[in-house]
Amino acid sequence: MTAPRASAWLVIWVGVSAAMHVGKLPPTLPVLREQLDMSLLQAGFLLSMVQTAGMLLGVLVGLGADRLGLRRCMLLGVCLLSLSSLVGGAVTDVAAMLVLRALEGLGFLMATMPAPALIRRLVQPSQLQRMMGYWGAYMPLGTALALLLAPWVIGISSWPVVWWGLGVWLLLSGLMVWWWVPADDATAAIGAAVSPWRQRLASVLTHRGPWLVVLSFAVYSGQWLAIIGFLPSIYAQMGLSMAVGGTLTAAVAAANMGGNIYSGRLLSRGINPPALLRLGFGAMGVGAFLAFAQWQTWQLPATLQFVCVVCFSAMGGVIPGTLFSLAVRLAPGEDTVATTVGWVQQWSSIGQFAGPPLVAWMAATTGGWQWTWVVTGSFCMVGWWLAGQVRTVLNSTPPVSA
């Protein structure tokens, strides 16, 4: 393996380590709700609060990363996310926890947003689509690892140890990037190559392609995080232990990795991106319906429900891998890749911020989870329509060369 390719894998690993901080909360929610007397709606906002920074600042961080340097931005995000997690382990107040989760969100954004553009610099053009597929798996892999480890740690210790341990782990991952990933001035001539920020921002916001990508990411990420985030609570209500619920949820999250990785392989073989998007959104809509819908005495057995949720996650996994590839491909220019990805992260965060509270509201209003498929199904219908618009753009606009 060449040194640049190895550096690209380190960048992906930092994304995985950062994603573990998103995944650490779902398995601890039952404990936190009991200890802090937290309502279901508050729990939904706590799940989504980590996306506040991305929802408000994604494109601005992307603009800043182009000027500051991709590696520098990533390392600053690692430090902020780690520090917020270390402090958060000592907090027991709900309001303070919400604030710290928002700070974790800013660190998460700064640590992950530069990654696609940085990977693009480190690998050969022929390797880019495959690597984007692997990068798209950073969130499900990190979430699955946290879902597996957190219940075990809580069982032998307490939830603050999860916060402290992951904070230290991320710092170590960032140290590896600082040591082995080439410095910004060694991978790109930053100052000379970057256009004024107003020009870059206007270019991204006035092109149709980036808008279709970001809206597609929003309707995908909102429903995926909502389902994954509440699964441990659903399993707890079914009488399963925290460890069993966490393991089942981790399996669902891990299934998403396969779709991400396979999407990169399919794209590299010339498969049409809109077709992959429609496959993913269609499967998510059907999977969520079969897993949660029920009428009177009709409901799938628990085993088949679990299979449907796994299919929801696995088949939906082709969506982020495809969209990350499209974000790089449809960026208006070479110097707008990070800005475009920042815009993608912003709308991904908007979806993840809105999805869990909407699903929680539906569950609280109807007295159960049996109508939550209406929320996820609505997102899938929008995603299906957006995929058709992406096809139109790809047929009419020549892509930017990688």
pLDDT digit string (tens) for 162-201? 999 999 999 999 999 999 888 876 544 444 455 677 888 8
Mean pLDDT computed over 226-249: 84
CB atoms within 10 A of CB 333: 15
| Band of pLDDT at residue 44, cut at 50, 70 and 90 | confident
Least confident of 173-177, 192-196, 234-238, 370-374: 192-196
pLDDT of 267: 87
| Band of pLDDT at residue 398, cut at 50, 70 and 90 | low
Residue 402 has pLDDT above 60, yes or no: no
Could you tell me what percent of the chain has a pLDDT over 70? Answer: 94
The contacts found for 10-13 with CB under 8 angstroms, 24 or more apart, are: 10/176, 10/177, 10/180, 10/181, 11/74, 11/115, 11/118, 11/119, 11/122, 11/177, 11/181, 12/115, 12/119, 12/131, 12/134, 12/135, 12/138, 13/173, 13/176
48 closest CA partner among 233, 312, 226: 226
pTM: 0.76
Tell me which of 119 and 66 has the higher pLDDT.
119
What's the CA gap between 318 and 158, in Å, rounded?
Answer: 36
pLDDT of 288: 92
pLDDT digit string (tens) for 324-366? 889 888 888 777 877 888 888 889 888 888 888 898 899 889 8
Residue 269 has pLDDT above 90, yes or no: no
Mean pLDDT computed over 73-102: 91
pLDDT of 86: 95
Biggest alpha carbon–alpha carbon distance for the chain? 67
| Band of pLDDT at residue 401, cut at 50, 70 and 90 | very low
pLDDT of 400: 46
What's the CA gap between 366 and 305, in Å, rounded?
Answer: 20
Least confident of 13-27, 131-145, 388-402: 388-402
Rounded to the nearest integer, the mean pLDDT of the chain is: 85
Domain ranges of the chain: 3-184+197-393
Residue 87 has pLDDT above 90, yes or no: yes
| Band of pLDDT at residue 289, cut at 50, 70 and 90 | very high
pLDDT of 175: 93
CATH of domain 3-184+197-393: 1.20.1250.20
pLDDT digit string (tens) for 96-109? 888 898 899 899 98
Residue 296 has pLDDT above 60, yes or no: no
Tell me which of 15 and 92 has the higher pLDDT.
15
HEC states along the chain?
A: CCHHHHHHHHHHHHHHHHHHHHHCCHHHHHHHHHHHCCCHHHHHHHHHHHHHHHHHHHHHHHHHHHHHCHHHHHHHHHHHHHHHHHHHCCCCCHHHHHHHHHHHHHHHHHHHCCHHHHHHHHCCHHHHHHHHHHHHCHHHHHHHHHHHHHHHHHHHCCHHHHHHHHHHHHHHHHHHHHHHCCCHHHHCCHHHHCCCHHHHHHHHHCCHHHHHHHHHHHHHHHHHHHHHHHHHHHHHHCCCCHHHHHHHHHHHHHHHHHHHHHHHHHHHCCCCHHHHHHHHHHHHHHHHHHHHCCECCECCCHHHHHHHHHHHHHHHCHHHHHHHHHHHHCCCCHHHHHHHHHHHHHHHHHHHHHHHHHHHHHHHHHCCCCCHHHHHHHHHHHHHHHHHHHHHHHHHCCCCCC
Q: How far is CA 335 from CA 120, 194, 258, 373, in A?
A: 12, 5, 31, 40
Provide the residue type at 202 as one letter.
Answer: A
Mean pLDDT computed over 72-78: 94
Residue 3 has pLDDT above 80, yes or no: no
pLDDT of 297: 61
What's the CA gap between 228 and 337, in Å, rounded?
Answer: 29
pLDDT of 253: 84
pLDDT digit string (tens) for 106-160? 999 899 988 888 888 888 887 887 888 788 788 888 988 998 888 889 889 888 8
